[in-house]
Amino acid sequence: MFAGRVHGAEPELIDDRAITIRSAGDVDAKRKALIHYIWGADGFPKQRLPDAVVPNVPGPLRDRSEVGRVDEIRIEQTPELQGLAYHFIPRKPNRTLVVVHHGHGCAANDDPAHPDDRNGLHQTIQALLREGYGVLGVFMPHKRPGDCRGRTAHDDLMGTTTIGSPLKYFLDPVAISLNYLKTRSREGNFPEYRDVHMVGLSGGGWTTTVYAAIDLAIRFSFPVAGTVPLYLRHGGSVGDREQYESSFYSLAGYQDLYILGAEGRGRKQVQILVRRDTCCFGEKQHDGSSVGMSYGEALRDYEGRVRAALDGIGNGSFRLEIDEIAPRHMISHHAIKDMILPELRKAR
């Protein structure tokens, strides 16, 4: 689910220990700077719609018991890159949408023949549909059915030249799909959504962190096993280039992104990390000697600083949960039942 670096030389990471956002003015200025960095003069894609929407497709889920209908959304990004999302419409809609963003795997199903590979995305989508949430399932670039490239795919993509930054290729499928879902409910024959939340695993957790920081339309966000600040990373937790591109994170380090993703009236971010993670951001990937703190102490340290900054700004809520039950890199049943769904019920 995450293409972290285990072998070879690690890239040099900037030190993002310092928080640079302290006021509402800082929030606005930082968000504008990030949007300009990513999209350049083109700006945030507020008006763009998908290139194709195919209604009532079979969809990627093995179990369709909670699904009323699935529509496929396609976004042409470059001649070699097509964004893909699925709109899952529940049988009994509650008019709230949850974006569920995939990671580095290339399928949304948990494989019943390989239980150790289960990532929890299937059970997350099913649990949301069961409670009436519409779900927008989004894939990462080159990590989707029919386009599943090797470990260097994202590094190669980040090396391309475009207006703004190649980071837009990771965010456009969410933004453009939401444009459609916000404005075309009548012609598309689906519920008009009143609120939008976002959940992501691994690379999808990174996408959730960055996208929620930029788009205030995301009320509650739940990045799962997706990031920690760069000053806490090494080995498997370094990630692909989009996770550490210095020109971007020198504008806003991860703690700044957490603040932006949580800031705003009625907004909240609940970051979930897995202690026994088999990939990244877990206790095994933590180097306590480099920061002089244990895994739990280091996480609580930056959680406290992010929360203090939000208190000073006056709006928004941030909380970090450590999943002590999940046995591997995944969204566990515990995280869904005891962390994500209760928060979504409160939001309603």
24-347 maps to CATH 3.40.50.1820: yes
* Residue 248 main-chain phi, psi, to 5 deg: -80, -50
Amino acid, single-letter form, for residue 170: F
**Confidence bin at 114 (pLDDT 50/70/90):** very low
Query: Cα dist. 12→111, 169, 203, 249, 283 in Å?
Result: 36, 24, 20, 12, 22
- The tokens describing 25, both together, are 């003015």
Nearest to 90 by CA among 110, 65, 121: 65
The pLDDT of residue 10 is above 90: no
Task: Give the whole-angstrom CA distance, residue 296 versus residue 28.
Answer: 32
SS3 assignment, position 30: helix
For the chain, the first-to-last Cα distance in angstroms comes to 31
Whether the per-residue pLDDT at 117 is higher than 70: the answer is no
* Predicted confidence (pLDDT) per residue in 318-331, tens digit: 999 999 999 999 99
Amino acid (1-letter code) at residue 5: R
With a cut of 70, say whether residue 115 has pLDDT above it: no
Among 94, 237, 245, CA closest to 164: 245
pLDDT digits (tens, 9 = 90+) for 262-319: 999 999 999 999 999 999 999 999 999 999 999 999 999 999 999 999 999 999 999 9
Residues 6 or more apart in contact with residue 17 via CB below 8 angstroms: 229, 231, 253, 255
Please report, for the chain, the start and end positions of each structural domain, with discontinuous segments joined by +.
24-347
Q: What is the largest CA-CA distance in the chain?
A: 58
Confidence of residue 235 (pLDDT cuts 50, 70, 90): confident
Within 10 Å of residue 303's Cβ, how many Cβ atoms?
17
**Residue listed under structure tokens 């419409």:** 89
